[in-house]
Amino acid sequence: MHRFIETCTNCIFLLNLPLSEGVTLKKNNMSLYLSITVILLLSLLLIKMLQLLNITLFILTLGSLSSTVKNAGEILKSAIRKKYKKQREEGIDTELCVQKEKKEKLVQPDYKDMFNVRTVLTTGMAGVGKTFQTKMFTIKWAKGNTNKKIDFIVSFQFSKLNKRRDQVQSMEELLNDHFSDIKLRGHLSYDKFKILFILDGLEECTLPLDFINNKNLTDMKAQATMDELLTNLIKETLLPSAHLWIISQPSGVDKIPSDYIQKVTKCQETSKRWTKVVTHMRERLCTEITLIEDTDHPKQKTTEHIMREDSTAEGTDEQKKKQIVVKVEATSDIFKDKKGNKIRTVLTVGEADIGKSFHVQKFIKQWAEKKNPSVFTWVADKTKASFGKAKQNELGMFPLSEINQIKDMKFSLVGLLNHFFKKTKEFVITNFSQFPVLIILDGLDKFQLPLDFDNNTTLSDISEPASVDVLLTNLIKGNLLPSALVWITSRPSAANRLNVEKCVDRVTEIREKPDIRSQRKLKSQLKEQFTRVSEGIDRQKTSAVLNEIYTELYIIEGQSGEVNKQQETRLVEKAKFKPVKQETVIKYNEIFTSVENKHIKTVMTIGVAGIGKTIASMKYMLDWAEGNMVQDIYFMFPLPFRELNLRKEEQLSFEDLLHQFFPAMKTSEISDYDKYNILVVLDGFDECRLDLDFSESNKCIDVREQTSVNLLLTNLIHGNLLPKAQIWITSRPAASNRIPADKVDRVTEVRGFNDEQKEEYFRKRFNVDLAEKILTHVKKSRSLYIMCHIPVFCWITAKVLEEYVTTNQEDEMPKTLTDMYTYFLLIECRQANRKYNEDKTSESCEIDKCWNERNKETIISLGKLAFEELVKGNFLFTEENLTECGTDITKAAVFSGILTQIEREGPSMYPQKLFCFVHLSIQEFLAAFYVFYIFNNKSENLLTPPPSVVSDLPASEFYKKAVDKALDSKHGDWDLFLRFLLGLSLETNQKHLKELLIDNNKNNKETNKETAEYIKKKINEDISDADKNLNLFYCLNELNDHSLVKDIKDQLRSGKQNFEDYSAAQWSALTFVLLTSDEKLDVFDLKKYRKSEKVLLGMLPVVKVSKITLLTWCELSEKACSGLTSSVLSSAFSNLSELDFSHNDLLDVGVQHLAEGLKSSHCKLEILKLSGCQVTETGCSFLASSLIFNAASLLKHLDLSYNHPGDLGTRQLTDIKEDPVMKLKTLL
């Protein structure tokens, strides 16, 4: 009866009758349903035949059993709901995937099809959320939201079951113990219910789980060990109706044979968890990486990130092979490929400290701060597209640093990331391959790991531990986490450790920007070239630091177009009369400083040889190269004409020219030079031997167009080439007029030392006593003192006089130029002996002997070179030039104070050696010596073309011809040569050269007297050029003939001069005396001397240096006006600011000459008085036209009283006076 009732009860459960909680049968089991129904009906017929008592008992039993099951399930579910009432589904960041034949199917959140099989195994890394998934399932079941067919859920931890290893019990007892906490009422037959066993932590199971040898169990009441209970439960021999959900880490999966597992699921993180990790990584990196603002960071300004790609342009095979440089605008571009190829591993190389880490940190910072989000979205999309990822997730960035600290440890890739990034460990990311990942290995060259890319150890499991070097090599090779992007940075030398062709998809480069690199190397070249210079003129002795020896030069600002054709010595002699207050003194580093917002493009700096033009330009460029001042210039290119001359026959572009001079510019990659502030320094324009044609007929505007150097330079100065570049030209005055005046924005003149600087120079060089002796002597000789304006001459004078004083020589100290240079030649000979014998044993007397055969040959050959090149106008010589003159270069090299080799720092395409005399005056002295030597020893006159043998020519005639040659020279080119030649005719100088000369018993004194008389005769002639007369007086000084000058000086001292009886020579002598005296010449009053037009014209040099000239009532005519205009008003060296011409019959023609003078940009007149000069309306119109033409005229006061200006003349001048732009304010 009991068994019958039990059978019926089971049937009721199966039918899901209201009295039970049985399962609902599916439609496909309808046949079984009908069979059971028939049996049940038959059973019911039998029941009716039973006694009423038995029927009642049967029904009560069924109801009691159903009520017990229902009660137990509700109690369990209630307890679960209470326990997890605060759990919210929104926090779920894991998911389950069913794994089947390499395909994954996501388990639905309601777990609907989770247990359509008996045994399910769920795997997953520790902490990924496997247990959390079981908890969420349990909660859903307890709420009735899933798997309602399950009656009970029984959860066991393997770690706790391990403790029952030795305990023997039945399955029923095990379940009763489990449910003891919820106090289920009544007796339950567990094998009649649907129970879900959750067995968590299989990897922790220490039980043997012997599926083969353990005995089989089917009875719930059978006693057995825990291992036997579990194996039978899993094998389905015990409680076959139950479901099993086994949870395990991958390491525990193999403990259960796969035959007993019907479904395998994998627990993995969702995008939500990845987003959390990315968020925390951003926060961390934002804190860790502190960069200066990108725009201010030095690496941002000086470096760039580039890729090199094959050229796609059509052309030759060589052109096609040439790679093009592509700038990386955004770092993410390094993973882009125009052809759609997969770019996984990128190697970025760069030299040490170039800024690789800066670019890496900048990229990370942008990612962390979510700057340029589209860029990083692209990278994420690229990862998805390249590696087949269906989900779109945020890019995760993992910079791996401090690798050396763990170099001896073992990690899995996951473990490595967990080690460096705490959040990946906390949130547990197990399947990095499903998310876009960028791993950054910054500084491969610093890794102290034996990275062996030829090692055959293959690692593909991100959870498999290995040594760090094996881990990284497999990551880079793509064996490990192939879905990840990898960015490596390294120095080029260390990058060779990588098998780039096999392991790297793209190589990029962090480099110094090419223009900045070229600028840095250019500055380095200029520093090497200009930091040390030769002190004085001995360029082969120990050099000195330019910054230490540089003395501020006296540089004045002139006006645009101001040029001078006069011989340099004349210019030096006039310099003393330039009043400081009328000149604008300018510092060397301010020559390009704009005035009144006027841009200064081209500056011409003039000055005599050795005055300091080159030194000033060198100091300017050195300041720039060292980062001091003038930093608004980006490139400075010094192009000396000495070397430009060597390229006379070449065809090249301006860019080619720069590359030859400055190799660093070859890699500048400049496409547009106009983007840069460029200064081109053209030093030594006077030495230019190129045929410069400043016509616009051959225009060149492209720096890459090949043409002649002539055209390159003319177009550069014209502004066609590099139109925005500034140009600094240095030149001796005589050559400067070759450049069109309108192409020069500012003219500056280097005056060398002014009087105060001269004294400062000698006082710095010597002690007090010696400095006073030398200064006193120099001041006695006006010609020497004036020449000391030139720093090089100052140095020569100091060297010579120091030798005289310190050796206590009995001879009189040198007092003329020839004396000075002759003695300087002796010093150089003795110095050459010492240099030549440095490594040899020689007697001191032999060393001190000046004129040994070696020195004789060398000096004579150098004299020949000096003269022949002076005739040609050359100041720069080749090795061939020296050889042709018989000069042994090795022997000449020791005369370093006379001849010097021009050396250019850095590489040069021209190995040819170049030479020059250290100063033009040295060349002129040696030229004069050679002409004198040939005449004296061979009776040849080299001054007559062609040279002729004149054995019967008296010496005086020879010197007279020399005087004529100098007077015939248009610009005084032979003035200094003549002084030296005449000075060498004196016995006092010849005695120092006697070992070179043949004693021909010539009467030198008589010759000198005849020559002096001839010079005086020339002085007495009406020579229109007063400056030539002045040089003749200097020549008399060299001949020690001071008679004319002494006579004038005596008359001036006595006050008994009779100017009415003065000859032309005396007037010239008076002019010379005045100009070479210390007397102030600010005011010149012609009436003080003689009211004569001829006297005025002879004294124009004095008028030129005066500030005020008074010529009233002096019976002057238009001839005086013409002379004043040409020699004074139009002269750049004129100081005249006030001219009073009143009461002279100048007439309109005379005023016309004066008006021409007013047009000159050099005219400094501020006051012009023409009262009572018979000026008419015509003359006034001349004056008005001049002032309009030269709107910059300084004229403020114009006196035309007692004249006849007429209405038109008055109106024209009045209009100018009333014009606020004009300076004329007073009109009488």
**Cross-strand pairs, 877:** 915
Secondary structure (3-state) at 836: helix
User: Which of 210, 239, 269 is the last residue in one of the domains?
Assistant: 269
- Same domain as 716, residue 642: yes
- Same domain as 121, residue 245: yes
DSSP 1125: I
Residue among 437, 438, 453 at smallest CA distance from 495 = 453
Residue with tokens 């036209």: 1185
User: Residue 90 contacts by C-beta under 8 Å, 6 or more apart in sequence?
Assistant: none
Whether residue 837 lies inside any domain: the answer is yes
- Same domain as 1111, residue 1145: yes
What are the tokens at 839? 């490594």
What are the tokens at 816? 């003329």
What are the tokens at 793? 């001459």
User: Residue 518 contacts by C-beta under 8 Å, 6 or more apart in sequence?
Assistant: 635, 662, 664, 665, 667, 668, 670
What are the tokens at 221? 């009441």
How far is residue 542's CA from residue 548's CA, in Å, rounded to a whole number? 14
Q: Write down the pLDDT at residue 680.
A: 93
Q: Write down the pLDDT at residue 388.
A: 47
- Same domain as 531, residue 477: no
Q: Write down the pLDDT at residue 909.
A: 47
User: Residue 763 contacts by C-beta under 8 Å, 6 or more apart in sequence?
Assistant: 771, 775
What are the tokens at 680? 């081109």
**Cis omega before residue 946 (within 30°)?**
yes
Residue with tokens 């960035």: 397
Strands 1197-1199 and 1226-1227 turn out to be: parallel
How far is residue 145's CA from residue 84's CA, in Å, rounded to a whole number? 15
CATH at residue 1097: 3.80.10.10
Q: Which residues of the chain have pLDDT under 50?
A: 1-28, 50-65, 185, 386-390, 535-542, 559-568, 577, 579-581, 839, 841-845, 905-909
211: number of Cβ within 10 Å: 17
What are the C-alpha distances in Å from 6 to residues 13, 22, 65? Answer: 11, 14, 10
Asked if residue 960 lies in contact with residue 978, where contact means CB atoms within 8 angstroms, the answer is: no
Asked if residue 862 lies in contact with residue 926, where contact means CB atoms within 8 angstroms, the answer is: yes
**Cross-strand pairs, 119:** 244
711: number of Cβ within 10 Å: 23
- Same domain as 252, residue 105: yes
Whether residue 882 lies inside any domain: the answer is no
Q: Which residue spans within 38-116 are E strands per DSSP?
A: 94-100, 103-106
Asked if residue 712 lies in contact with residue 690, where contact means CB atoms within 8 angstroms, the answer is: no
CATH at residue 444: 3.40.50.300
pLDDT digits (tens, 9 = 90+) for 220-260: 899 999 999 999 999 999 999 999 999 999 889 999 999 99
- Same domain as 684, residue 626: yes
- Same domain as 1176, residue 1146: yes
- Same domain as 776, residue 732: no
DSSP 743: G
User: Which of 804, 834, 850 is the last residue in one of the domains?
Assistant: 850
Whether residue 79 lies inside any domain: the answer is no
How far is residue 691's CA from residue 839's CA, in Å, rounded to a whole number? 47
Whether residue 197 lies inside any domain: the answer is yes
How far is residue 89's CA from residue 548's CA, in Å, rounded to a whole number? 81
Q: How many domains does the chain contain in total? A: 7
Give me the helices (H) in 152-238, please: 158-161, 171-178, 226-235
How far is residue 289's CA from residue 56's CA, in Å, rounded to a whole number? 83
Whether residue 576 lies inside any domain: the answer is yes
Whether residue 1190 lies inside any domain: the answer is yes
812: number of Cβ within 10 Å: 10
Asked if residue 479 lies in contact with residue 457, where contact means CB atoms within 8 angstroms, the answer is: no
DSSP 595: B
- How far is C-alpha 890 from the chain's CA centre? 42
- Same domain as 94, residue 160: yes
User: Which of 1049, 1077, 1105 is the last residue in one of the domains?
Assistant: 1077
Q: Write down the pLDDT at residue 1092.
A: 83
- Same domain as 212, residue 251: yes
- Same domain as 775, residue 703: no
Apex 1110 CA angle, 1107 and 1111, nearest 5: 135
Looking at residue 377, its amino acid is T
What are the C-alpha distances in Å from 1099 to residues 235, 551, 1086, 1125, 1158? Answer: 136, 36, 9, 14, 21
Q: Write down the pLDDT at residue 884.
A: 86
Give me the helices (H) in 1170-1219, please: 1177-1189, 1206-1218
- Same domain as 464, residue 546: no
The domain in which residue 579 lies consists of: 516-754
Residue among 819, 851, 830 at smallest CA distance from 995 = 851
Whether residue 666 lies inside any domain: the answer is yes
Secondary structure (3-state) at 512: strand
Q: Write down the pLDDT at residue 551.
A: 52
What are the C-alpha distances in Å from 698 to residues 240, 645, 716, 1205? Answer: 106, 20, 12, 50
Whether residue 937 lies inside any domain: the answer is no
